[in-house]
Copies of this chain bind each other. A is one copy, B any other.
Amino acid sequence: MEKLRVIGTGGTIAATATEKGDKPTIGVTTLLHKIPQIRERFDSDPIQLLQKDSTFINHKDWARIAREAYHASAQGNKVLITHGTDTLAYTSAALSFAIQNPQTSIVLTGSMRLPEEPETDALKNLTDSAIFLLEGAKGVYVVFNGKVMTASRITKVHSTDVNAFDTVDGKYVATVEENRVVYQNKLVESNAQTNLADTFDNRVCTLKVTPSLPKDIFDAILDKGFKAINIAAFGTGNIPYTSSKGDPEKVLGGLLRKAIQTARRVPVVVTSQAAHGGVDLRKYEVGRKIEIPPMISGEDMSQEAAHVKLMWCLGQGMNLDEIRRSFERSYAGEITVG
C-alpha cells in the first residue's frame, strides 16, 4: 500500500451547516473514511493540523502546512491537503514556493458544497485526488472539479459554482475522467534537490488600478511601511503613467517609479486584473512607458501567485535585485519562461 499523509486544515470540505452559518467541524479522518479509493489503496495517516475557514488561513499557517507536507514527503509519503476554497489559490501558491522540488505528489483539494449535501463535490474531489496521487507525479498540484492543475497557476473564478477554479493560462496538467487520469500537457518534474523555504513576510499589498484612482493611495501604502506592491493593472499591464497636465510624477506610474528608484527600493510587480492572459508590457505605448526596469513584470503569473511570491521573496530576505531575478525564474511553473 502507498503511504499517504493527509493534512486537514478545515474549509467547506470539513464544514457542516450550523445555526450561525456553515463552519468547519468535520475531522479529516471522518472524511477519508468515505472514500474507498483512499481506504483501500492507501495506508493513510491523517492529521488535523488546523480547523479553519480558509478566510483565516494566514502566512504562518502556510509555514506550518509546508513543514508538515515537506517532512511527510521527504519520508516518502504522498500528501493530500484538504483546504477551504476561499484562499486555496494563495495557499497552493505558497506551498509551491515553500516546498521546492518535492520527491512525491502533494495535492491540495477542497469543495464548494458541504460533504453532507446530496450534491456535494467533496467526495468527487477527494476521489479524484486519490486517483491522481496514485500516478506518483512529483510536484504540488490542485485537484478540483475533475481538473489537475499546477498549484502555482490557479485562481478562483467563481464564488458559488463547483467549477470554481481555473488556471490563468487555461491549461491543465490532466483531467480525471471516469476514474482515469487523462494527461492534457506534459508533466514538468524536476530532479533537483528538494528543499524547504517556509518563511513569508506579510507586508505586501495588492492594489487594483481603477480609473481616476487618486495617486496618494501609493503614498498611503508606502508610508505605512509596506515592503512590496503587486499592481493589478489594466489589460496587458497598463497603468496611467502621465496626465494630460504632463507631470509624470503626479500620476500612478510616476509615483511607482519613484518608489522603486529612491532609497526605499520597493519592489513593484505588475500583473493584470483580467483573470487570464497575463501581462505584456511591450504591447502598448502605455505599457512601454512603465516597462521594466524599474517595474517587475508578472508575465503570465496569476495575481495570487505574484502576491505570494513577493511575500516569499521578502521572507527569504531577498533585496530588490534578487527579487527581480526571482521573478524572471519559474520555481514551480508559476510563469512561462523563454
Binds B, one of A32-40, A99-107, A135-143, A236-244: A236-244
Q: CB-defined interface of A223-256 with B at 8 Å, one 1/0 digit per residue?
A: 1101000001011111110001000000000000
Known: A90-B211, A158-B277, A164-B274; 19 extra A-B contacts, CB below 8 A, are A21-B282, A23-B285, A53-B238, A53-B286, A55-B235, A55-B238, A55-B284, A55-B286, A56-B240, A86-B234, A87-B234, A156-B274, A158-B274, A159-B236, A159-B280, A160-B278, A202-B212, A203-B214, A208-B232
Q: Is A73 an interface residue (CB 8 A)?
A: no
Nearest CB of chain B from residue A244's CB, rounded to whole Å: 8
Residue-wise interface mask of A (151-168) relative to B, using a CB-CB cutoff of 8 A (1 in contact, 0 not) = 000001111110010000
Q: Which of A262-295 contact B (CB under 8 A)?
A: 272-280, 282-288
For A234, the chain B residues whose CB sits under 8 A away are: 54-55, 86-87, 156
Indicate if the CB atoms of B158 and A276 lie closer than 8 Å: yes
User: Which residue of the partner chain B has the closest CB to A202?
Assistant: B212
Kindly list chain B residues whose C-beta atoms are within 8 Å of the C-beta of A207.
Answer: 207-208
On A, residues with C-beta under 8 Å from B are 18, 20-23, 53-60, 62, 85-87, 90-91, 156-161, 164, 200, 202-208, 210-214, 216-217, 219-221, 223-224, 226, 232, 234-240, 244, 272-280, 282-288, 303, 307, 311
List, in ascending order, chain B residues with CB within 8 A of A214's CB. Answer: 202-203, 224, 226
A87-B274 in contact (CB<8A): no
A161 with B277: CB separation less than 8 A? yes
Pairwise interchain contact A22-B55, C-beta atoms closer than 8 A: no
Residues of B within 8 A of A238 (CB): 53, 55, 86
B-side contacts of A239, CB under 8 Å? 55
Residues of the B chain whose Cβ atoms lie less than 8 Å from the Cβ of A205: 210, 213, 217
In the complex the two chains form, what is the Cα distance from A277 to B157 in whole Å? 8
A-B contact pairs, 22 of them (CB 8 A): A20-B288, A21-B284, A21-B286, A23-B285, A54-B234, A55-B286, A56-B244, A85-B235, A86-B234, A87-B234, A157-B274, A157-B276, A159-B278, A159-B279, A160-B280, A161-B276, A161-B277, A164-B274, A202-B211, A205-B217, A212-B311, A275-B275
| B217 and A57 contact, CB distance less than 8 A | no
Q: Which of B21, B91, B303 contacts A283 (CB 8 A)?
A: B21
Q: Which chain B residues border A236 with CB–CB below 8 Å?
A: 159-160
A213 with B202: in contact, given A55-B240, A274-B156, A284-B22 (CB under 8 Å)?
Answer: yes
Quick check: A288 and B55 within 8 Å, CB to CB? no
Q: Which residues of B contact A273 (CB under 8 A)?
A: 156
A213–B55 alpha-carbon span in the complex (Å):
11
Expressed in whole angstroms, the Cα–Cα distance for A278 and B55 within the complex equals 16
Q: Which residues of B are found within 8 Å of A288, using beta-carbon distances?
A: 20-21
A200 — which chain B residues lie within 8 A by C-beta? 212
